[in-house]
């Protein structure tokens, strides 16, 4: 009998050309995960994720599903699969779910965090897992500027030129900018995202935080609906896929928000719409 399994997967994306397997011989997270799962399942496994990540982008809780007709324990899908994965990819949870579950199409929202390390001298440890800037950042100004992104907007100014989405309209459900220990963290939850959207948010907000543009510039960029007015695209190194939200009846496993070197903060109850 064919059953559906959902996984939570953590990975450091530094060594990979993104999540999605490609026809060219380049390393991807999906390719490595499918190979490892295929060994445990004794058949070729194809996986679908909640949100594809770009080259150099990480995940602390990517949601993935696949189908199998082999009976394995949930423990086997985690520990067994991990023995066949490189050290920078790990399955951290597994559960059998209903046949109508879909990692992408069942998701109510997706959530990313962008981690910035503002300090005078560059770090050596975790250098591939955060975005360093030598500039001091005004976190309050960044948070105030980010408020204009809440709600449903045309985010053309924040999508990559090559973005293939059918529409630039997205709904931002929550957007916070806060100091967590020595890090400045952008925390964004939306129904869906455009290509490079978070990194373009980060580029604008870091410019404002550094005092190079006024707070009002964020709204000006949004209203322009022109990517050329949006400033730099921030590096991928600080970006993490941290959560996808599903209806409760699917009973998808969850874990504390990552990345896990950040100080823990109590999570508010989020509404699904603004």
Active site members: 54
Would you say 43 and 71 are in contact if contact means Cβ atoms under 8 Å apart?
no
Q: What is the DSSP letter of 147?
A: G
CA separation, residue 179 to residues 68, 143, 176, 215, 262 (Å): 43, 10, 10, 18, 10
Question: HSE of 23 in the Cβ direction (CA atoms, 13 Å)?
Answer: 0
- Ranges of beta strands (E only) in the chain are 3-11, 48-49, 58-68, 89-97, 109-118, 131-133, 151-154, 169-180, 183-190, 239-245
Would you say 241 and 51 are in contact if contact means Cβ atoms under 8 Å apart?
yes
Give the position of tokens 């508010």: 268
- 197 three-state secondary structure: helix
């Amino acid at each position: 009998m064919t059953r559906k399994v959902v996984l939570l997967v953590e990975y450091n994306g530094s060594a990979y050309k993104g999540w999605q397997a490609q026809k060219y011989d380049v390393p991807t997270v999906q390719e490595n995960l499918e190979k490892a799962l295929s060994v445990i399942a004794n058949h070729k496994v194809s996986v679908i994720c909640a949100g594809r990540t770009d080259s150099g982008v990480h995940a602390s809780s990517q949601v993935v599903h696949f189908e199998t007709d082999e009976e394995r324990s949930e423990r086997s899908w985690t520990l067994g699969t991990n023995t066949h994965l490189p050290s920078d990819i790990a399955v951290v949870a597994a559960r059998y779910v209903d046949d109508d579950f879909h990692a992408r199409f069942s998701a109510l929202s997706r959530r990313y965090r962008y981690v910035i390390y503002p300090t005078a001298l560059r770090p050596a440890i975790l250098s591939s897992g955060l975005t360093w800037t030598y500039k001091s950042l005004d976190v309050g100004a960044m948070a105030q500027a980010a408020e204009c992104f809440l709600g449903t907007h045309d985010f053309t100014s924040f999508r990559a030129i090559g973005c293939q989405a059918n529409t630039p309209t997205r709904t931002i459900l929550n957007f916070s900018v806060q100091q967590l220990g020595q890090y400045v963290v952008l925390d964004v939850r939306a129904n869906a995202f455009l290509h490079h959207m978070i990194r373009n948010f980060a580029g604008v907000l870091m410019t404002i935080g550094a005092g190079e543009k006024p707070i009002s510039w964020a709204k000006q960029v949004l209203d322009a609906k022109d990517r050329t007015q949006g400033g730099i695209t921030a590096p991928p190194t600080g970006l993490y896929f941290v959560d996808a939200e599903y209806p409760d009846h699917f009973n998808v496993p969850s874990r504390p928000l990552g990345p896990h070197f950040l100080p823990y903060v109590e999570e508010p109850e989020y509404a699904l719409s603004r």
